[in-house]
Amino acid sequence: MPKILDQRRLVPNLHLLEVHAPDLVRKCRPGQFVIIMPDERGERIPLSIADWDETRGSVTAVFLVVGTSTRKLAALKAGDEVPVFVGPLGRPSEIEAFGTVVLAAGCFGIGALWPAARALKAAGNRVIALIDAKAEHLVYWKDRYQSVCDKVLFSSRDHALASKDFIPRPLEEVLRAEAPVARVISVGCTYLMYACARVTKPLGIKTIVSLNPIMVDGTGMCGACRCTAAGKTKFACVDGPDFDAHQVDWDELFLRRKSYFDDEIRSICHYEETELP
Amino acid sequence: MAEDKKELSPELKEQLRAEFDRDWRKDLRKALPVKDRMKLGRQKMPEREAGVRNRDFKEVNIGLTPEMAQEEARRCLDCSNPQCITGCPVCIDIPSFVKLVEKGEFLEAAWKLKETNCLPAICGRVCPQESQCEEVCTMRKAGGAPVAIGNLERFAADFERLSGSLRIPPPPPPSGKKAAVIGAGPAGLTVAGDLAKLGHSVTVFEALHESGGVLIYGIPEFRLPKSILKAEVDYLKRLGVEIRTNFVVGLTATIDDLRNEGYEAFFIGSGAGLPNFMKIPGENLVGVYSANEYLTRVNLMRAFAFPDYDTPVFKAKTAAVIGGGNVAMDSVRTAKRLGAERAVIVYRRSRTEMPARTEEIHHAEEEGIEFQLLTTPIRYTGDEQGRLRTMECQKMGLGEPDASGRRRPVPIEGSEYTMEVDLVVCAIGQSPNPLIPQTTPGLKMGKWGNVEVDWATMATSLPGVYAGGDIIRGGATVILAMGDARIAAAQMDRYLRR
């Protein structure tokens, strides 16, 4: 079974997980994801790939601690094993010389967008990162982004890093200042991606988002992850996870992501009652 | 598409003849005259009471007792020209194993089965025998009930498993050749077993975390207990088959990557991915599942035990399952077991055209499943939370036969009605999984996204690459997949020894 090499908190509620997965590491590309199952009774959940290391034979993901599965992941220690760590799944992100690319990332998306930042720079793009966090102490991997990006900007709610603002207005400012921007890639919580899409649509800037619907098998078999893009039903696991943000039916995605809200609460209560010391 | 009932090869005919002419078979035939055998009634499979079993997931059928099995085996006339074998996609020597049961040599019967079929306890449970071996049984042609071949197969396989005398054939001389099997479903497992018995080193690559494919994620515990699947997979492992789970060929490694690792022959048995939907309004509401998702949650992820297991599944007051096949029956009976007050099959044609096995339809009826036939959903509506609330249906009439030979359903104008539902499971088939086709350059595809093969050899357009099961058929049965697999395995053996 795949062994955990590292599991630690990056910032409050956001954790890094590095798993020994020599089978996967050769094939990882920016924008892909893995399916992980924390233990034999766990759920299969998708996590975006945040990094990989061929010499260590490892794949890294960053996740937000929110429900039972991610709490279980956050309790893993180096040396522990997980029954499922499979991938790399999904289609890789398009990486080409586009010109100027703005990356709008928040939450686990800061980790998830890192491979694309690195690859886009290597492909010859001018890469500008706009990192959103509620407060300065919630920003991670700032150094990494600064090591490859032409500019790293922040939006936060605490004045410490930038103006006190959520991502839309800072994004709009960047897009105007850096015009022409060839492409925006946004990864993070659904609301952040939706908010970015709303900014870029009137400006006519191609925007890619990495959708995060509920999944089960992750290989096209079950159809749990269906979402609507350009009026057609798509399976995020094999048709995505990257989609054109301006074609996504966001209302449907928000509702489908909440499908099991009551069960999730029940599951956490059960977990706390039965499995926590 | 290949025919199910086929001409047997001359070698096989010769083999069967030799078995037929054995002294013990002659003695057995003499022991009871045909006319007396024909008077015997078919043994009824004992099953758990409908009102009890529809509340749990334990197996419905209990299995024949040894006495019942022998009595049933006596009904077999041991015909000189047995038709049953022509009805079996994997050509099991049916008369030989049935006569061994009659003789009381149950272990030998199981071993006889395993000469041609590595998974008899599974086939004895899930094969549609009534439209295969039993359909062409002489007893049936003579106007009686066919010999219960499926029940006997199950009996012999179970007897061996429970006896603890599992026989592993002596290891063949190693060929030194490596074969890769993609997908640990019924087709892949069959190929793996056949190739291992021929001395090849076989690795099965499975995307999910458990082996079995549709046998683990699709077919419910009450029809095929997981412990039985596990025992049959363990048997393959003891034959030397290596199974690598959590490995998605196409993504974790491509067929070309595996070629570079020394694999020479390949079998693609990646099955049906991509569940089909009807493309009607409201299908993405919360509460509308594909059958694959619904059954995967319950079977593979054990959502019936939520929250002890973390994966949830919607419980319904009224569950509607769209479709009339075995998957629809599995889904609707699952919904009933998860507590639905009403569990309803909605099928656009009539009872006669239903593709599900007679036994499954019968079991479903006993368990209190409702059937709304000649009916199709045309729209779903939900509440402000996006949750399914109602299903609008339309009644259908039957017109002229279509390409499948079944009468085409025709909507009846003005027959629309609405029913309240809180769960819909769409069980209207699936398309082949796209991952291998997308990642294997040069692999020739058919117009439905299926891998194209030469039906005589199961060879694809790429050298050394064979395919079978739902990836070529789009959505068939376990035994048809296994039939493809047997043909492919024989060809792969020839290819590896070329």
CA-nearest of B426, B424, B425, B378 to B276 is B426
Looking at A59-68, B271-280, B291-300, B307-316, which range is the least confident one? B271-280
What is the pLDDT averaged over residues B439-443? 92
Q: How far is A86 from chain B (nearest CA, A)?
A: 5
Q: How far is A15 from chain B (nearest CA, A)?
A: 20
Inter-chain contact A219–B293, Cβ cutoff 8 Å?
A: no
CB within 8 Å of A117: residues ≥ 6 apart: A103, A127, A129, A144, A145, A148, A149
| Pairing outcome for strands A183-187 and A207-210 | parallel
Q: Which domains does chain A have, with CATH numbers?
A: 3-89 (2.40.30.10), 100-257 (3.40.50.80)
**DSSP bridge pairs for A86:** A35
pTM of the model: 0.93
Q: Does B105 touch chain A (CB under 8 A)?
A: no
CA-nearest of B397, B318, B387 to B353 is B397
Q: What is the pLDDT of residues A78-102, one digit of tens each?
A: 999 999 999 999 999 999 999 999 9
User: Which of A146-160, B114-128, B241-255, B474-488 has the largest mean confidence?
Assistant: B241-255
Q: Which residues 176-195 of chain A have a CB within 8 Å of chain B? A: none
Place of tokens 């006993």: B366
Q: Which residues of A touch B433 (CB under 8 A)?
A: 219-221
- Residue A3: CB atoms within 10 A of its CB come to 15
- Residue A213: CB atoms within 10 A of its CB come to 21
Q: Do domains B10-163 and B277-428 have the same CATH topology?
A: no
CA-nearest of B343, B292, B255 to A221 is B292
**B159 burial type by CB count under 10 A (0-12 exposed, 13-18 middle, 19+ buried):** buried
> Distance of CA A210 to CAs A241, A267, B73, B302, B474, Å?
5, 27, 60, 29, 30
Q: What is the pLDDT of residue B7?
A: 82
Mean pLDDT score of chain B, rounded to an integer? Answer: 93
Inter-chain contact B312–A263, Cβ cutoff 8 Å?
A: yes
Q: Where are the domains of chain B?
A: 10-163, 178-273+431-496, 277-428
Pick the CATH number of B277-428 from 2.30.30.60, 3.30.70.360, 3.50.50.60, 3.90.480.20: 3.50.50.60
Q: What is the pLDDT of residue B449?
A: 85
Q: What is the pLDDT of residues B71-104, one digit of tens each?
A: 999 999 999 999 999 998 889 999 999 999 999 9
Q: Does A86 touch chain B (CB under 8 A)?
A: yes
Q: What is the pLDDT of residues B354-400, one digit of tens each?
A: 999 888 999 999 999 999 999 999 999 999 999 999 999 999 999 88
**A15 burial type by CB count under 10 A (0-12 exposed, 13-18 middle, 19+ buried):** buried
Q: Which residues 224-243 of chain A have a CB within 8 Å of chain B? A: 224, 226-228, 233, 235, 238
Inter-chain contact A235–B312, Cβ cutoff 8 Å?
A: no
Q: Which residues of B touch A266 (CB under 8 A)?
A: 307
pLDDT surpasses 80 at B2: no
pLDDT surpasses 50 at B3: no
Which one of B247, B272, B296 has the shortest CB-CB distance to A217? B296
Count helices and strands (H / E) in chain A. 10, 14
Q: Does B385 touch chain A (CB under 8 A)?
A: yes
Q: Which residues of A touch B310 (CB under 8 A)?
A: 41-43, 68-69, 267
Q: Does A52 touch chain B (CB under 8 A)?
A: no
CA-nearest of B440, B481, B490, B441 to B269 is B481
Which one of A27, A223, A251 has the shortest CB-CB distance to B252? A27
Q: What CATH number was assigned to the domain covering residues B10-163?
A: 1.10.1060.10
Q: Which residues of A touch B311 (CB under 8 A)?
A: 43-44, 216
Q: Does B277 touch chain A (CB under 8 A)?
A: yes
Q: What CATH number was assigned to the domain covering residues B178-273+431-496?
A: 3.50.50.60
